[in-house]
Structure 1
Amino acid sequence: MSEVDTKDYEIRIFEGEELEPFRGDERFGEAFLFHELPKDEIGVGAYRDGVLFGMAGATSDSDSMWQIGINVMPEAEGLGIGSMLVAVLKNEILKRGKLPFYGTSMSHIASQRVALGAGFVPMWAELYCKSCK
């Protein structure tokens, strides 16, 4: 687990039915899926003065591996909230005996930076291509 500086924010953890208020909220399309499978398991939000700055969520992609997604409010981009929340959620997942992972596309440099800032390291890469014919 990694140490995470959250002193400027109130961190709230959401599980089970506590996730329902976020269903259908387009601001959290990366943090939550609201599908039967994979199932949304947990979310963590960063608040300051009652204002939500970002939300990270985890889906149980298997019995042992939970995937992390993140959304940061546009007005809070560039403040390090994404990496902070992903690191907090990574630690929560590890406490539950699950393996956290973070997937992103090779072209999404900002998302890669969030993952690296949260302590993740690249483990594999996938490349898709299609014929030009």
Structure 2
Amino acid sequence: MIGPRAVILASTLLALIGAAGAHAQDRPIGFLTPSKNSACQFFADNGQGVLRCDIVNMEARPHRPADCELDYGHAFEMSAKGSANRICAGDTVMDPSLPVRAYGEAWQRAGFTCRSEQIGLTCFNAMRQGFSLARAEQKVF
């Protein structure tokens, strides 16, 4: 016969396991570059993958478009099959809890590929559209 103390212990253990599983799903999906100057996060948006990467330090910021009331120049985004763009954003995907991806190591998810090198970060989608981020220059291709 199982006593009430064993039932309480089992219930507590199951609750903790459930909470840990839920917490793991809440973690951001992405990475930081070794310099921690860039970060990328993957999001699922209406069933389609979206990759957003931000850069912190840049030698020059581009002129903010008139229709952008937020920050401009630091954030880049693309869908799995669409074009890449520099975006107007009032937030950031920089998150110190993201794992650091070593230089030369590729990161891949849902059709996106990113590679961080000492000269900068390059990411592209299945259509070979993407961006390169470095302190000196950022390019969308």
Establish whether TM, by shorter chain, passes 0.5: no
Task: Flag the structure with larger Rg.
Answer: 2
Q: Greater share of helix residues, 1 or 2? A: 1
Q: Greater share of strand residues, 1 or 2? A: 2
- For normalisation by structure 1, the TM-score amounts to 0.29
